[in-house]
Structure 1
Amino acid sequence: MSALHDQYGVRNELLLGVVVSITLLVLGESTTAAAGIAAVFLVFRAVVHAIQRTVGDYADHVLFGGVILLGAWYLGSSGVSVLWIGLVVLLGGWFLLDGFQHLRYGRSRAERIAPLIADGNGPIHGFLLVVVGRLLLPFRLGSYTDGGQ
């Protein structure tokens, strides 16, 4: 689980907030807007850490998927292309399903999907297998635990 309670974790989160704020300033936002958005970002991260510690690993995926689906609803009400809305719904739905499945079966981030092999002479072997395996994991998770429930 992620731990926000130690000094290093707090410092790291504050640094992320500063990075968000500086990025927004570079992109042309006002100082007030950049500071406000960075503060909202830090509050969101703190809520995510609290939910992870309370509910379990991957609870952040449920929250993140819900936020993405709310964003898709907002995009739909603002008249954005159906293709964009579909892609956002697909992304949010995957995060939501992934989080629910991992919480349902008690899986944690410490468990590996497939090994990555780096021999130092080229690309990492097994990277594509890991990516595809990770994308399909919420759909196959029941077959890995509890005898295929």
Structure 2
Amino acid sequence: MSALHDQYGVRNELLLGVVVSITLLALGESTTAAAGIAAVFLVFRAVVHAIQRTVGDYADHVLFGSVILLGAWYLGSSGVSVLWIGLVVLGGGWFLLDGIQHLRHGRSRAERIAPLIADGNGPIHGFLLVVVGRLLLPFRLGSYTDGGQ
């Protein structure tokens, strides 16, 4: 769940807002625009934390996927190519499905998908397995939870 209620969490969120603002300033935005966007970002993060505490651990994925799909609708109305719209819909749809499936089956972020093995002699073994497993997890989640795991 979210740890926004403690002092450390609030400080981290404010620091994240400052980072967003500084990044926008570095990219050439005006000071007022950077401060406004950072404030909207902080409000969005606060809403996400509140929804997570109220609904469940993956409620932020449902919200994030919905926002991305709204962005895809906006891109579609502004005349962007179909390829970009398709990629945005694919990403937003995955986040939405992932959040709904995790909430539906009562899964939390504390549960691991596959182990990562680091022996110190090269790349982390199992990384590709974790990435593919995580991308496919919303489609296979029912079989994991129905099996008693």
Please tell me the TM-score bracket, short chain as reference: over 0.9
Contact 1:142 1:148 in 2 (8 A): no
Gaps of 5+ in 2: none
CA distance in 1, matches of 2:130, 2:137: 10
Gaps of 5+ in 1: none
Tell me how far 1:58 sits from its aligned partner: 0.4
CA distance in 2, matches of 1:121, 1:113: 23
Deviation string, structure 1 residues 38-70 (Cα, Å, up to 9, x no partner): 000000000000000000000000000000000
Tell me how far 1:116 sits from its aligned partner: 0.2
Deviation string, structure 1 residues 17-58 (Cα, Å, up to 9, x no partner): 000000000000000000000000000000000000000000
Runs of 4+ aligned residues of structure 1 deviating over 3 Å after TM superposition are none
CA distance in 2, matches of 1:3, 1:26: 30
> What TM-score does the superposition give when structure 2 sets the normalisation length?
0.98
SS in structure 1 of the partner of residue 148 of structure 2: coil
> What TM-score does the superposition give when structure 1 sets the normalisation length?
0.98
CA distance in 2, matches of 1:119, 1:148: 32
Contact 1:75 1:85 in 2 (8 A): yes
Deviation string, structure 1 residues 80-130 (Cα, Å, up to 9, x no partner): 000000000000000000000000000000000000000111100000000
SS in structure 2 of the partner of residue 145 of structure 1: helix
Q: Does 2:112 match 1:112? A: yes
- Tell me what 1:19 maps to: 19
CA distance in 2, matches of 1:109, 1:124: 21
Tell me how far 1:147 sits from its aligned partner: 3.9
Tell me how far 1:3 sits from its aligned partner: 1.2
Tell me how far 1:148 sits from its aligned partner: 9.3
SS in structure 1 of the partner of residue 146 of structure 2: coil
Percent identity, please: 97
Q: How many residues align?
A: 149
CA distance in 1, matches of 2:130, 2:146: 23
Aligned alpha-carbon RMSD (Å): 1.4
